[in-house]
Structure 1
Amino acid sequence: MLPAGKVPSEILEKLFRTLGSEDERVLVGPGIGIDFAAISFGDKVVVASTDPITGAVEDIGFYAVHVNANDIAVSGARPRWFLVTILLPENSDEELPVRIMRDIDREAKKLGISIVGGHTEVTPGLDRPIVVGTMLGEKEGNPIRPNNAKPGDAIVMTKWAGLEGTSIIARENRKELEDVFGRDFVERAASLLDYISIVPEAIVAAEFGVNAMHDPTEGGIANGLHEMADSSGLGIRVYPEKIPIRKETMAICKFYDLNPLALLGSGSLLIAVKRDHARALVERLASRGINAAVIGEFLAEKKRVAVVNGEERPFPRPRSDELWKVFKR
């Protein structure tokens, strides 16, 4: 039986054998750890991405815009056009699709994105709404390829682990958490939603000059690191104590017995950059008000390890996002 969340990589590899007709204009196609597709249109490249929002109900429109925009930004392109499919449970209130689209409209305007199409329906068998977005962007010249990390590259991570997951749990389980931690704590945790966009730091990193970028989503920072290594055919050495985690995330993860490194991670950006340039990149990001840290390096040897108390230990890939443990209780 498959666990909830992303399909395991060994099954995805089988799916990648069924990709339709070949097209020489496709610069970046599907692959593990690949956030976007890129298609050549002469002097410009169109970048495309699609992602569903399945774990959130409150602010689902907000997440749909920013999660998809993030996938475009890691290519170095700016998100421009958005198509959205809204699937509603039976007997939904008529106000629900209106509220979802109102939120999508507001967030799209913030990023200068036009909503150009989509589909809405009431779907049997759902217990919550699902929003599936497709984002398009464009850039001049080749995109920053997600599979271009090099052996010896430093891994720079922006902001904090588990931001999206923390915000969703705080919003969906507000009453339960207020009884334990108090209203002010829950408000701070819920407000981590404000950090979801990685468009600003992706633009900074692209202008700085980096080898690869990746937007960790399901499976959090841990799965994102594995996906980056998969796409570039490399290993990783991670220093968990250097991974920034908010105290709100730590407290909620302890309460629900979750691993914060495997909690839904939108809002953080993973960057592969030459080792000698890593500190300068962190300082550049800090000068723009963006927290960042060097958390590891890519290895030519295809091992996946974490350094704990000075010793290398296996760094396993999460089987599923920790968020599902909360909503399956």
Structure 2
Amino acid sequence: MITGKLPNDLLEKMVFKHINHKRKEVLTGASIGEDNALVDFGEEVAVLSTDPITGAVNDVGRLSIEISVNDVSTSGGDVIGVLMTLLAPRGISYEDIERIMKDAGEAAERLDVEIMGGHTEITDAVNRVVISTTVIGKIKKKNILKLEDIKKGYKVIMTKSTAIEGTSILLNDYEDFFKDKISREMIEEGKRYGEKISVKQEGEIGGKIHVNYMHDITEGGLLGAVWEAHKAINMGIKIYEEKIPITKITKEMTRILEIDPLRLISSGSMLIIADEAKSKLLIEKLNKRGISVSVIGEVIDDGAFIESKDNLKIIEPPRADELYRAIEKLNSTIDK
């Protein structure tokens, strides 16, 4: 099987078909394009999500907190705490474990969430550190995002720029490969993209404005997120390539690696759907926080499409993220 998140068609055939038992308390369960489960507790609803960190080598402690917090942030609710499972290979040092937890602790403090517990284990089942985190939040039932109210013509928005996380991972983990191909200034700036991975502010502001849909752009990149979003809202989405924000650093790095930046993991960017009035308010409030925002498309009747000049292409379901193809290329080059 290919490396990466299980493709959505296989997810439906092999995983979802076996999730048959339902509870009335679960308002939102396992489904494509939804970042969280919602559990009814009366006036308030618990928001839960879980994610592993497997593609990065550096900063796994920080990433494990920020990535999971991002998922709950897409609900517009308050993030409370994280349960953390750390699986480490036998060769790891005590210093490495402490560094990972120090980074995780600092990220949790910065985002105002508590590491409430978890599990730490040394095992020969992994050949590098794997961290899985489950994050818990809450939201008032009256404030749950209303996907069913989305109409044709609603704006499709993304924050920051595409492939933030992928750019940071590849420039941090394979810096030596790029040092004679990209300027030192560009490499250092790209490595710092990891500082932009949190979308907690976007989630908080989007929740207060009552936008209709928010989705963290992770594995599969922007195009994967758009495809998942159109499935989640049960309507179509069309985006415009020329409106998609992408930095010079990401363009140059992906050109060198011959990978698609629009299918490269993009944690740090959020996909948002709202009507025109709320979109304008969202842009205004996020800009005041120093967060760039771009209207990249609109809701249509059906399907997922990307338009460039006079060319309209169907967006295919996400497969393996370009990150894994890049890592395979880089490792084979380094091994030679």
Q: TM-score range by the shorter chain?
A: over 0.9
Is the 8 Å Cα contact of residues 43 and 141 (structure 1) preserved in structure 2? yes
**1:252-271 mapped onto 2 (5 Å cutoff):** 252-271=253-272
Aligned to 2:120: 120
**1:68-147 mapped onto 2 (5 Å cutoff):** 68-142=68-142, 144-145=144-145, 147=147
Aligned to 2:214: 213
Distance 1:64 1:48, change over 3 A: same
Distance 1:296 1:23, change over 3 A: same
The count of corresponding residues between Structure 1 and Structure 2 is 327
**1:222-233 mapped onto 2 (5 Å cutoff):** 222-233=223-234
Aligned to 2:279: 278
Is the 8 Å Cα contact of residues 152 and 299 (structure 2) preserved in structure 1? yes
Is the 8 Å Cα contact of residues 209 and 278 (structure 2) preserved in structure 1? no
CA distance in 2, matches of 1:123, 1:241: 47
CA distance in 2, matches of 1:99, 1:151: 49
CA distance in 2, matches of 1:89, 1:222: 34
CA distance in 1, matches of 2:143, 2:231: 19
Distance 1:146 1:8, change over 3 A: farther
Q: Structure 1 residue runs of 4+, over 6 Å off?
A: none
Is the 8 Å Cα contact of residues 159 and 267 (structure 1) preserved in structure 2? yes
* Aligned partner of residue 65 in structure 1, secondary structure: helix
Residue by residue, what CA displacement relative to the aligned partner does 1:178-198 show, whole Å, maximum 9, x if unpaired?
222233221100100111000
Distance 1:208 1:326, change over 3 A: same
Aligned to 2:332: none
CA distance in 2, matches of 1:172, 1:303: 37
Amino acid at match of 1:252: M
CA distance in 2, matches of 1:20, 1:61: 34
Distance 1:53 1:146, change over 3 A: farther
Residue by residue, what CA displacement relative to the aligned partner does 1:65-89 show, whole Å, maximum 9, x if unpaired?
0110010011111211110111112
* Aligned partner of residue 70 in structure 2, secondary structure: helix
Is the 8 Å Cα contact of residues 223 and 317 (structure 1) preserved in structure 2? yes
Is the 8 Å Cα contact of residues 146 and 228 (structure 1) preserved in structure 2? no
Shift of 1:313: 2.3
Amino acid at match of 2:138: E
Residue by residue, what CA displacement relative to the aligned partner does 1:188-213 show, whole Å, maximum 9, x if unpaired?
00100111000101111111221111
Aligned to 2:42: 42
Shift of 1:22: 1.9
Is the 8 Å Cα contact of residues 227 and 315 (structure 2) preserved in structure 1? no
* Aligned partner of residue 230 in structure 1, secondary structure: helix
Aligned to 1:189: 190
CA distance in 1, matches of 2:197, 2:151: 27
Aligned to 1:29: 29
**TM-score of the pair, normalised by structure 2:** 0.93
* Aligned partner of residue 179 in structure 2, secondary structure: helix
Amino acid at match of 1:27: L
Distance 1:150 1:130, change over 3 A: farther
Aligned to 1:168: 169
Aligned to 2:8: 9
CA distance in 2, matches of 1:203, 1:257: 36
* Aligned partner of residue 237 in structure 2, secondary structure: strand
Is the 8 Å Cα contact of residues 51 and 132 (structure 2) preserved in structure 1? yes
Amino acid at match of 2:239: V
CA distance in 2, matches of 1:143, 1:16: 27
* Aligned partner of residue 273 in structure 2, secondary structure: strand
CA distance in 1, matches of 2:264, 2:110: 27
Shift of 1:125: 4.4
Is the 8 Å Cα contact of residues 46 and 138 (structure 1) preserved in structure 2? yes
**TM-score of the pair, normalised by structure 1:** 0.95
Aligned to 1:150: 151
Shift of 1:43: 1.9
CA distance in 1, matches of 2:279, 2:236: 18
Shift of 1:284: 2.7
Residue by residue, what CA displacement relative to the aligned partner does 1:69-114 show, whole Å, maximum 9, x if unpaired?
0100111112111101111122222222211111111110111111
**Percent identity, aligned pairs only?**
35
* Aligned partner of residue 179 in structure 1, secondary structure: coil
Is 1:248 the counterpart of 2:236 in the alignment?
Answer: no
Residue by residue, what CA displacement relative to the aligned partner does 1:247-301 show, whole Å, maximum 9, x if unpaired?
111111011111111111100010010135433432332122110011011222x
Q: Which runs of 5+ in 1 are unaligned?
A: none
